[in-house]
Structure 1
Amino acid sequence: MIINTIIFIYFVQSLANYYGTAQPDIQQIIKLNFTQKVNSLIIKFYKRENDVLCLVSQNDLGLTKLSDLDLGYNPKGPEVYDYQSYKANSEYQLIQIAYVAMIYMKCFQLNQNQQQLISIEIYYSENQFIQGCTNDCDGYNYPEISNSICVSQQCHCLEGTFGQYCQFQSAQISSNILTTFTLDTHKWKYFQYQFSSIDINLFSQNVEEELYYSFVLKQNPQLKIPNLKESQKLISFNNIQQELKNQQTTVYVDVIYIGLYNNQSKSLNIQFKIITNDTEDESTFERNKIVIIVTGCVVGALLLFAFGLSALKSRQQRQFQQQIQEAIRRNLNQVHNLDQLQAQSPERQLPQINHKGFSLRFIKDHFKGHSYEKIIKAYPGLSQFEECVVCLEQMKKAATKQQKICSVTPCFHIFHCMCLEEWLLRQKNCPFCRTEYNRKKIIKDYPWLEVNTLRVNNTDSTYLSRMKNNQETVNESQIEFVKHQPEEQQQTNQMEVISEQ
């Protein structure tokens, strides 16, 4: 059911908004219904006869004659037409114009012997019309979408397509390989060929047939295409060296589009080959293959070596982190056990651990823990610290609840609360910037972190302003502390320190 619905929607979207026919040399006037969703019109002509050119204009074309037009790849007058498709004698001609409510059409047919009706399809498009990028470089196949793109009002076509809006199909052809195909009457067959030597011969076994060739250099935009006016009859061997020299410019190009045209009233089975006198082509190709294989092996070996080093480094880093975490947990458990024993037996004198840092009570009172999210919400600038530099574990994406609890130093660096406690038990400095601390300074400046009030007391602090404004600054040489502290709280903290001593 879903597949049927998708097919139905695609079928509806593929339908033209207008169908009609036009007689050669007679003007057709079409009035369209206005809609705000329409930005441009895509007009597609389908003809069964040769030498037909269709014009579209906002002006009356009743008196216009084909001889009055200065035909070219870029129309200069009010009339718009698909000159490349006309020169290629294509079944289709495609024109895109900005939306207008009334358009005038007129198709000219040079061959007056058999005049047949020309089919017209008009599609409403929501895309803006871009000069030089008809149908958004998707060729005749509206509303199908290809991957060709429009850049600076020029079409950059996919491999296998070329033309002003990528409307022609081309087949890749290599040197000294015979290609067999059928070519319909009065039709073109296009090939793309990349050459290394200009000494090129075109070979065909259809010597007695009315078969013509023409070629052009690849360019962007591709305004010129193979055409009958510049074509030559294809005989057994055709050396195109001189013609290629005449077409070359100061810009180096090594790709040509070769067109073969059947000028007979019947289809032809053609055998065609490009022959080059450069005997080094195949050996060069073989050498290039060897170079590519060797280069691939070297690159693969280097990638494998780099992967091995990365895996070894990651393993060593994990082992180091595990050792640090184990040491932190062991020391913290020892300290907590001693505190519990002291609380249970106050009269008992327990051996004191010889720390070079602060006491655990002092650390817990002045380096309080808060959730990482709460700290970052108050001080967005601290979001640059995602890992604890002590244990190298995540704070932002913490794996456990304990790792989500963090503490901030007076120099405004953030760590896991348990990691900072373990660090400050051993030394009186910041694990990140090594700023030295002392009890007097910490007591004076406490609290330097105010998470609950979401504000900074010291408005003169450049560093704290950066933290609040989410500006990265991890290389501060001078650390500014909060200057203002209520005297009552200072006295309370000082009394706690005296009681500890």
Structure 2
Amino acid sequence: MIQILLFYIIVVKAQNLLRSFELNGNNKISGIINVEKNDENLLVVFYFDNANFPIALVSEEEILDTDFNTTIKPIFIESKKIVLFDYESIQTHYHTHMIELQYMESIYYYVRDRFGPFKLKIEVYSKPHSTCTNNCQGFQISKIKQNSKCNTKCECESGYFGSYCQFELINIEKEINYKIHLIPHKAVYLSFKFEQEAILYADDVIDPITASFGLLGYKGFEIPDQTSYTAILHSQLSLTKLIQNLKLQFKDAQILIIGLQCRTDQTINITLKQEQTATIWNGNSMFLAFASFNIIVIIICFGITNLCKQKEVIVKKKRKIKVRPPKIEENPKNFSGTFFNKYFEIYDYEDFIQMNPQFSQNTQCVVCMEDLNQKEISITPCGHLFHHLCLKKWLMRTLNCPSCRYLISYQQVIDGGWLGSKILQNPIQQNSKSQLMINRSNSLIENNENAESVEMVEKGEEN
């Protein structure tokens, strides 16, 4: 009876709501919250309604648009102020952000959504001092489910994870079909125990799905996001190599978390199966010998064809040939190799990370699923790292970022100024020449790509 009474006293004390108000905004809201003197810590809760990519920040100083860089969110590389935010909720586009802080007489807040408008409710609670990191601290908020338990330490109940146990988790097993409903801008999280060889099958996929990975119980690696391990799921996705790499890096890891996101509303069927790894000598020696013979024949024919082309000389009537560069479409579907080499910078991975430590979590190329430190790398305008050749081949097929599907435009690459651009414009020169570049950008691109071919034709005629 005494224990129940003590627990009731703690809960009532933790339910002390200091401030509560609602706001409406187009794409951002900022202001100040005044709180009466309180010896306890504070908890500021932001409830977003109808927001797709919400961001909530608090500080002792006024927060401005220039204080942070949204290209590489949520790393605030521009601000010299102390800015607090809910990292997990920002990375997962979660509708509720909870920020703990010591008592401040005036709390400046800055809230925004990429697409707006949206509705916002802010609540400020007093919080008893505690070293616990999740809801065992005593927060009894009606809109947040209490999915944690406290015995000797704070742990999330089965089916939930995160610093506040705020994310639901679906545990899947092999050879069982699961129907998953996906909606835009909201992630669904799956989990399963590590296996040496596993493959994920997806049926009824309408639009490609982005799959991100995390490790349950590893702070900083638990929440799946698009800055570390990411892949695209069409119909099937092999997890064997990923699991092997994670096992080498995290020897005690036991449960893998998979976050699924998409751009369209769709219902898919997910099945986890054992992947059958083929061996070289497994009774298919005849097939391997036949395939090897065909490869040798193809190589010989290819070599003979190239030799004949080198010796072939065609003499035509001398006349001046005028080469006119083709017009570029207003919305081209891909980049040419020459255009990519001209405007995209090449970096050594270790040197790049040493100069830009905020990218240290990027260890794997999404296109080929290989480690980034094995080859030269490049970075997109939206702030994602890939092998240089992998990104080049990708953008020669489509102009969407392989990681976040961000649309990369010709004009954005030509203007330069982003971290991976070869053209770092001078602001003074940019003001005087910006209009000229916009009007003549298409012709400049193609003239540069065809200059060498025109010069070769004219030299041949003179000779």
Q: TM-score, normalised on structure 2?
A: 0.49
* Greater RCO structure (CA 8 Å; 6+ sep): 2
Q: TM-score, normalised on structure 1?
A: 0.45
